[in-house]
């Protein structure tokens, strides 16, 4: 699928924002997917800063400004902030997909959800395996909505995952991740950190 490109003439320095906020961490990390990685993007070091978050979300909104989005959907937790801000910039509604079970996301609570035929932009923070994004896409389609694109803060796969719709990321880079039984840092005996809790876990 063609990839929309944002006009960066507004001077948004994505790499500079990630550096300045300390969002890119080096070490031995347990990812949400269960895989291990020597790098971790701590999204909330960016998302706690409204100006920086708005600058990055403006790139996503600009990339899809002509796509005819009628709503923006994101997964809880970090995707709530991104979907709200991108929706605000596009002048449309934001909806939030919460966990249904370990393999699905659902739209619940008593707010307006996705309507049949509605054109929906799906957004998320950090892309590693695509699990959360695919769950939101599935939730939109179950509701009868039409997914018109995917917008991301950071794509750790450097564009390797194809969602079947145009995909834009503010930052693209190739960051390795490993199954626990194939992790070189585990083999080297390096402490495993679960982000958010700062907990050292047993290595494989």
Residue-wise pLDDT tens digits, 91-102: 999 999 998 887
Crossing angle, helix 50-63 and helix 78-90, to 10 degrees?
60
Would residue 1 count as lying in a domain? no
CA distances, 124 to each of 47, 191, 203 (Å): 12, 28, 29
Q: From 150, 152, 84, 73, select the one nearest 106 (Cα to Cα).
A: 73
Would residue 28 count as lying in a domain? yes
- Quote the DSSP letter at residue 191: P
Residue count of the chain: 204
71-75/93-101 β-pairing: parallel
Average pLDDT over residues 137-159: 96
In whole angstroms, what is the distance from residue 162 CA to residue 15 CA?
Answer: 24
Using alpha carbons only, what angle is made at residue 121 by residues 115 and 126, rounded to the nearest 5 degrees? 130
Would residue 3 count as lying in a domain? no
Question: Is cis: bond before 77, omega within 30 of 0?
Answer: yes
Would residue 37 count as lying in a domain? yes
Please tell me the predicted confidence (pLDDT) of residue 197.
Answer: 59
Please tell me the predicted confidence (pLDDT) of residue 3.
Answer: 40
In whole angstroms, what is the distance from residue 68 CA to residue 103 CA?
Answer: 29
Query: How many domains is the chain partitioned into structurally?
Result: 1
Residues spanned by the domain of 162: 11-201
2-21 pLDDT per residue, tens: 344 334 335 689 989 998 99
Average pLDDT, rounded, for the chain: 89
Check pLDDT > 60 for residue 203: no
pTM of the predicted protein model: 0.84
Check pLDDT > 80 for residue 57: yes
| Lowest mean pLDDT, pick from 25-39, 82-96, 149-163, 190-204 | 190-204
| Lowest mean pLDDT, pick from 64-78, 94-108, 118-132 | 94-108
Average pLDDT over residues 135-157: 96
Would residue 134 count as lying in a domain? yes
Would residue 18 count as lying in a domain? yes
Task: Provide the CATH number for the domain around residue 144.
Answer: 3.40.50.2020
Whether 100 and 106 have beta carbons less than 8 Å apart is answered as: yes
Confidence of residue 80 (pLDDT cuts 50, 70, 90): very high
Average pLDDT over residues 178-195: 94
Please tell me the predicted confidence (pLDDT) of residue 78.
Answer: 86
């Amino acid at each position: 699928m063609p990839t929309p490109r944002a006009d960066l003439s507004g001077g948004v320095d994505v790499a500079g924002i990630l550096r300045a906020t300390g969002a890119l961490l080096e070490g031995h990390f347990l990812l949400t997917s269960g895989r291990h990685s020597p790098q971790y993007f701590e999204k909330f070091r960016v998302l706690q800063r409204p100006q920086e978050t708005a600058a990055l979300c403006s790139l996503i909104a600009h990339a899809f400004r002509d796509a005819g989005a009628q709503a923006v959907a994101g997964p809880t937790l970090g995707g709530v902030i991104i979907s709200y801000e991108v929706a605000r910039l596009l002048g449309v509604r934001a909806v939030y997909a919460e966990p249904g079970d370990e393999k699905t996301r659902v739209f619940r609570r008593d707010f307006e959800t996705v309507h049949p035929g509605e054109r929906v932009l799906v957004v998320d923070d950090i892309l590693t395996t695509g699990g959360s994004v695919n769950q939101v896409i599935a939730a939109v389609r179950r509701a009868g909505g039409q997914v018109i694109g995917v917008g991301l803060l950071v794509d750790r796969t450097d564009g390797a995952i194809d969602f079947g719709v145009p995909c834009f990321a503010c930052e693209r880079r190739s960051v390795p991740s490993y199954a626990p039984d194939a992790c070189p840092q585990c083999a080297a005996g390096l402490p495993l950190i679960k982000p958010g809790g700062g907990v050292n876990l047993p290595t494989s």
